[in-house]
Amino acid sequence: MAGTDGMRGLRAWSLATFRTTSFMTAAVLTLHLRGTLPAFLHRLDTSIGFAAFVAFWVATWVATRIGLHMAERDAVAAYGAPGTAIPTTIVAGGWNGVFVFAMLALTVVAAFAQPQGVRALAAVPVFLFGAVIGSLLAFTIGGIAGFVYGLVDALVILISTALFRWVSAGVKEPVLRLER
C-alpha cells in the first residue's frame, strides 16, 4: 500500500528533479530572452552537456536530502505551512552551490594538472585558497537561489493545502513525517 513510507523517497526525488529541471528551463529561458542561447549551446558538446546535467541532478538530489534531513532534525514541519520550508531550501541551495562549484573546480584542476604532472603540486596552496573562497561564494549564491525556491515551495504548499482541505472536508490536517 502506498502510505507515508512510500512517499518518503518520492518526496526527495520529485523535489530534486523539480529543482533541477526548473532551474535548467529558467536558465534556457533567460538566455533565450537575452538572445545568447545559440552562442551558449554552441560551446557545449552533447555528451558533455548530458554529463553536466546528470551531475547537477545528482548534486541537487543530495542537497535536497540534506535539506529534508535538517527539517526533520529541527522538527520543522517543512510542508506543514507555507514559508516554513524556506530555511531548509536556503541550506539545500547553499550545499547545491558548493557541490556544483566542487565539480567545476575539480574539472579545472584536472585539466591543469594533467599536462603539468608532479610540478602541479606547487600550485596546491593556490587551489586550496581558491577552493575555500569559491565554496563560500558558491554557498551564498546557492543560498539565494534556495530562498527563491523556498518561495516557490510556499506557493506549491498553498495550492496543495487548499485542495487537501477540500478533500479532507474538515478532517484535521496531519503533520507529515519527513524522511530520515
Partner 1 sequence: MDTFYQTWFAVRYVHVAAAALLIGGAFTTGALSASDALASDSAGVRGVAILYERIFWLMTGVSVATGISNLGLKGEGLLGPDTTWGTALLFKLSAVLVLLILSLARVDFLARCSAADVVDPRRERIALAALYGVTALLLLGILWGGLGLAHGRY
Summarize as ranges the residues that interact with partner 1 (CB under 8 A): 1-4, 6-7, 10-11, 13-15, 17-18, 20-22, 24-26, 28-29, 32-33, 35, 37-38, 41-42, 44, 46, 49-50, 53-54, 57, 79, 152-153, 155-157, 159-161, 163-164, 166-169, 171, 173-174, 176-177
Cα–Cα distance measured from residue 75 to residue 14, given in angstroms and rounded to the nearest whole number: 21
Identify which of residues 131 and 151 has a Cβ nearer to partner 1 in the complex: 151
CB of residue 20 vs partner 1: minimum separation in angstroms? Answer: 7
> What is the nearest approach in angstroms of partner 1 to the Cβ of residue 95?
20
Q: Closer to partner 1 at the Cβ: 90 or 139?
A: 90
What's the min distance (Å) between Cβ of 65 and partner 1?
Answer: 15
Q: In b/e form, how buried is each residue of 111-121, taking b as 16+ CB within 10 angstroms?
A: eebeeeeeeee
120 vs 176, beta carbon nearer partner 1: 176
Report which of 41, 128, 141, 127 is spatially closest to residue 98, judged by C-alpha positions: 141
Q: How far is the CB of 85 from partner 1 (least distance, A)?
A: 11
Smallest separation, CB 79 to partner 1 (Å): 6
What nine digits make up the cell of 43? 560551446
The CA-atom distances, in angstroms, between 179 and each of 5, 7, 18, 129, 155 are 8, 9, 18, 36, 22
Q: What is the distance between the alpha carbons of residues 29 and 144, in angstroms, rounded to a whole number?
A: 19
Q: Which is nearer to partner 1, 80 or 134 (CB)?
A: 80
Q: Which is nearer to partner 1, 99 or 139 (CB)?
A: 99
Instruction: Give SS3 for 20.
Output: helix
Which residues, other chains included, contact 76 with Cβ-Cβ below 8 Å and sequence gap of 6+? 70, 84, 85, 87, 88
